[in-house]
A and B are shown apart, each in its own frame.
Chain A
Amino acid sequence: SQELEQSPQSLIVQEGKNLTINCTSSKTLYGLYWYKQKYGEGLIFLMMLQKGGEEKSHEKITAKLDEKKQQSSLHITASQPSHAGIYLCGADRSGGSQGNLIFGKGTKLSVKP
């Protein structure tokens, strides 16, 4: 079965610094989703990547999917306290139309003011 590994498990950065979170899949990714979760709350959808080499940005967050479609990275530029939370990557198990996602364990981000 497909697995997603995220690194690092946790990250503490000073406000204003850049950071990168990685998500590696054991199988080819049909769709890769990034979510953010505040502690004890639901997941907020950030971005979805589908094509090898694809890159998307929203405000100061950029996500990329590598050409082989087995790894994705999430990059935050000039981090702010509002970026703090748990970032999870999710992958569609069934080719894109089923909505059944598997998830990595998450990366906990803390931003020091």
Chain B
Amino acid sequence: ETGVTQTPRHLVMGMTNKKSLKCEQHLGHNAMYWYKQSAKKPLELMFVYSLEERVENNSVPSRFSPECPNSSHLFLHLHTLQPEDSALYLCASSPRGVYNSPLHFGNGTRLTVT
């Protein structure tokens, strides 16, 4: 049990579908993150939310749309994705503003776009 729960664990979707990834943290943290992990590439930071406000968007295409309704929940809404978007999507949380505090990761959603 990592304290950060992601659902679903696996998702297969067509290029015209709309789906959402969900992340929930039970650690009392106030910052949440989306990372993308593709084969043979470093983890890529996608979005950062601090106190429910988006503080970073790392040039992510608009077909990825994050939502943070409260400090415990984070969503990633997906629409008209491309096959190259297939990857492991990892959610993380941390107590933002606490010096050198590590990120706590969920187990990820394995996304396959067909």
B73 sits at the interface (CB 8 A): no
- A83-113 vs B, CB cutoff 8 Å, 1 = contact: the mask equals 0000010101000111111111110000000
Query: Does B102 have its Cβ within 8 Å of any Cβ on chain A?
Result: yes
Measured CB to CB, the closest approach of chain A to B66, in angstroms, equals 15
A residues apposed to B, CB below 8 Å = 4, 30-31, 33, 35, 40-45, 48, 50, 88, 90, 92, 96-106
Is A41 in contact with B42, judged by CB distance below 8 angstroms? Answer: no
Bound-complex Cα distance A102 to B100 (A): 14
| Neighbour of A98 across the interface among B88, B96, B105, CB < 8 A | B96
In the assembled complex, B94 has its CB within 8 A of some CB on chain A? yes
Instruction: Write the nearest CB–CB distance from A77 to chain B, whole angstroms.
Output: 23
Q: How far is the CB of A65 from chain B (nearest CB, A)?
A: 12
How many Å lie between the Cα of A48 and that of B102 in the bound state?
A: 8
Q: In the bound complex, do residue B43 and residue A100 qualify as a contact, i.e. CB atoms below 8 Å apart?
A: no
Task: Please indicate the chain B residues that have their CB under 8 angstroms from the CB of A40 in the complex.
Answer: 88, 108, 110
List 10 A-B pairs, minimum CB-CB distance, nearest first.
A42-B105, A99-B94, A103-B43, A43-B105, A42-B107, A45-B102, A31-B100, A103-B42, A96-B100, A96-B99
Chain B residues within an 8 Å CB radius of A45: 102-104
B59 within 8 A of A: no
